[in-house]
Amino acid sequence: MRAVQVVGYHDKLQLNDIPKPEITGPLDVIVRIGGAGVCRTDLHILEGQWAEKSGVTLPYTIGHENAGWVEAIGDAVTNVTVGEKVILHPLITCGLCRACRAGDDVHCENSRFPGIDTDGGYAEYLKTTARSVVGIDDSLEPADVAALADAGLTAYHAAAKVARMTRPGEVCVIIGAGGLGHIGIQVLKAISGVTLVVVDRNPDAVALAVDVGADQGIVADGSHVQQILDLTGGHGAEAVLDFVGEGGATAEGIAMLRRAGNYFVVGYGENIDVPTIDVISTEINFIGNLVGSYNDLGELMTLAAQGKVKLHTTTYALDDFQQALDDLDAGRVRGRAILVP
């Protein structure tokens, strides 16, 4: 089968012919890929940022946002059938460790992460397990929802935390209205009563944010921090949900935050630099967000089936993987880029 692989860091990906995966265990599931999301993390992988953390042996197949059709199953699989449309939770988990038993499978002690530390979905087929496949509604197509497997799941996981920790009418500032941000906006509008103010450097992204439900959009032109303070009577927002995490976004986000506010970190790339005395004197909190649980993904698929969360996508043929990455890196993708084998 064809697969797009990392052959070296600081190098371009290659499209290679590799063996098709086979069923070897009773809970194995092989999925024929219908769509694979192109994520900024893929760019960070090529930059070598994940090399030590993942410990993956090169070459390997990239791609961690995947959906498709069940091609084959092990003899103990009962939750999906051959031919069924599915989206894949990004982790392969054990189901037996303390975290899995608690339903917090994103922190599984024995997890594997296709596309990060094992073969992923920039390919025609992917091997996973019964614990990782979520059936999707007949009204949804794999290529239309693939990026919800990670970008959407991460946005949902973080937005659900915001919803639990805020009250209707309080202000949440979302930094970044791109691939994750435009999903987080829709989730928060569906499950919470916060006032959503979205900040982005790109006027087109701000327009998209308002189109999908933001109460107000602000272009990050240097005056945006003061605009947030003015909107909140000088106090700042109760919550800041940062989908960028680099390029100075964290310093600006902290400046927008109210006393006792919560800063939800999703995007990454720079260090958070804040004096500890400021943390304790204002009682601000920094909350990390890593993907989401299997149940989170199921809930997100419910919102998608209800039409409350829709991805804005641009599709590319698998052969055009480099163009997709180049467009993402250059900021030419509104929403998410999807590779279709």
In this prediction, residue 306 carries a pLDDT of 96
In this prediction, residue 68 carries a pLDDT of 98
In this prediction, residue 62 carries a pLDDT of 97
In this prediction, residue 331 carries a pLDDT of 84
**Long-range pairs for 215-221 at CB < 8 Å and ≥24 separation?**
217/177, 220/252
- Reported as a single tens digit per residue, the pLDDT across 149-180 is 998 999 999 999 999 999 999 999 999 998 88
What's the angle, vertex CA 23, arms to CA 315 and CA 149, rounded to 5?
35
> Which residues of the chain fall below pLDDT 50?
none
- 3-class DSSP state of 315: strand
Do 112 and 301 touch, CB atoms closer than 8 A? no
In this prediction, residue 34 carries a pLDDT of 98
Q: Where are the domains of the chain?
A: 2-150+292-339, 153-288
Do 303 and 316 touch, CB atoms closer than 8 A? no
Cβ within 8 Å of residue 25, ≥6 positions away: 74, 129
CATH number of 153-288: 3.40.50.720
Closest C-alpha among 97, 99, 160 to residue 309: 160
Instruction: Tell me the residue type at 319.
Output: D
CATH number of 2-150+292-339: 3.90.180.10
- Reported as a single tens digit per residue, the pLDDT across 73-84 is 999 999 999 999
Quick one: which H or E segment has residue 261? strand 257-265
Q: Which residue intervals of 133-263 are DSSP H helices?
A: 142-145, 151-165, 181-191, 203-211, 224-231, 249-255
- Please report, in angstroms and rounded to a whole number, the separation of the first and last CA atoms in the chain: 10
In this prediction, residue 155 carries a pLDDT of 95
Q: Give the max Cα distance, the chain.
A: 62
In this prediction, residue 335 carries a pLDDT of 76
Closest C-alpha among 120, 14, 65, 41 to residue 329: 41
Burial class (CB in 10 A: 0-12, 13-18, 19+), 274: middle
